[in-house]
Amino acid sequence: MRIIANSIEIEVEDFGPKNGIPLLMINGFGSQLINWSLEFIDKFLEKDIRVIIFDNRDVGLSHKFSGHKISNMRDIWKYSFSSDIDLKITKKPTVPYTLNDMAADAESVLKVLDIRSAHVLGTSMGGMIAQLFAYNYPEICRSLTSMMSTSNNPDLPRISKKVREGLTGSPKNNDISSIINYNMETRKLWSSPKFSTPEKKLLENYTASYERMFYPEGQTRQYAAIGHDGSRVERLKKIISPTLVLHGDSDNLVPVEGGIDTAKLIPNARLEILEGWGHDLPPGVFDWVSSKICEHIFSNE
């Protein structure tokens, strides 16, 4: 269903009993709400947890900020993360929207659905947004789960150039076969070495995502928002929501050190690391991940 939240259109799906414990799940970079596996969502519905998912701004069926071009991406990231800022960059570059705006989208989704407070789960970029949700709206964040995400501490290990280019690059053509083949290849850079997803399922998922909405321009603005937000070290220290941090030790896109640092910074956060898990959500991790999250939710009710 399409709602107006934070003054823009947001596409939302709402699963489970309306009187169930609400869990708001926030997508990662460039992903759509259909990228959450229904099999994974069922793990929570079995526990009478109400699951709310939505398309972040600039992806899927939510509002697009068309016309807002990013011409200074390197300056955005350099200003936020470099200790040796180019003297030509006299002030922080502006972006069409920030991760704080995206956290405000999430808060507004709950408000429109008349949900006074919720447990919040975010994965990758969604984890960053969830962290800011907990920081900005502590009174409505029952608990925080930050999954395969990071503090953006500039002292943490960086991803390799090959992985970064795989994430932000694109094939020469935008036809469906080129896009799917590109996604099938680049995902190997950060997929889980111990847990696999059947190739047939991957092809179905990439095809469904392309046919529902192919809009790479939005990913550029989301990437700029990540760079603009910079380090969250000082903000994480002030989070009061009960926090669970989940990460895989084989994550090549957001190295496990990012999760370790997040848990170290947030007061009383609990850290769980899974061996052989990369930067994806294959069926083989559903039980482990969902059980950790459910335990966290019910212990904070």
> pLDDT tens for residues 192-223?
999 999 999 999 999 999 999 999 999 999 99
Taking residues 44-53, what's their average pLDDT? 98
- How many C-beta atoms surround the C-beta of residue 92 within 10 A? 13
pLDDT at res. 103: 98
Tell me the pLDDT band of 84, cut-offs 50, 70 and 90: very low
- Residue 119 CB contacts under 8 Å (≥ 6 apart), including other chains: 21, 22, 23, 24, 141, 142, 143, 144, 145, 296, 297, 300
**Tens of pLDDT, residues 115-153:** 999 999 999 999 999 999 999 999 999 999 999 999 999
Distance CA 3, CA 15 (A): 16
Judged by DSSP in three states, 248 sits in strand
pLDDT at res. 82: 61
What predicted TM-score, i.e. pTM, was given to this entire model? 0.96
Domains of the chain with bracketed CATH = 2-298 (3.40.50.1820)
Q: Are 22 and 115 in contact (CB under 8 A)?
A: yes
Distance CA 110, CA 102 (A): 13
Distance CA 271, CA 229 (A): 23
Tell me the pLDDT band of 87, cut-offs 50, 70 and 90: very low
Tell me the pLDDT band of 85, cut-offs 50, 70 and 90: very low
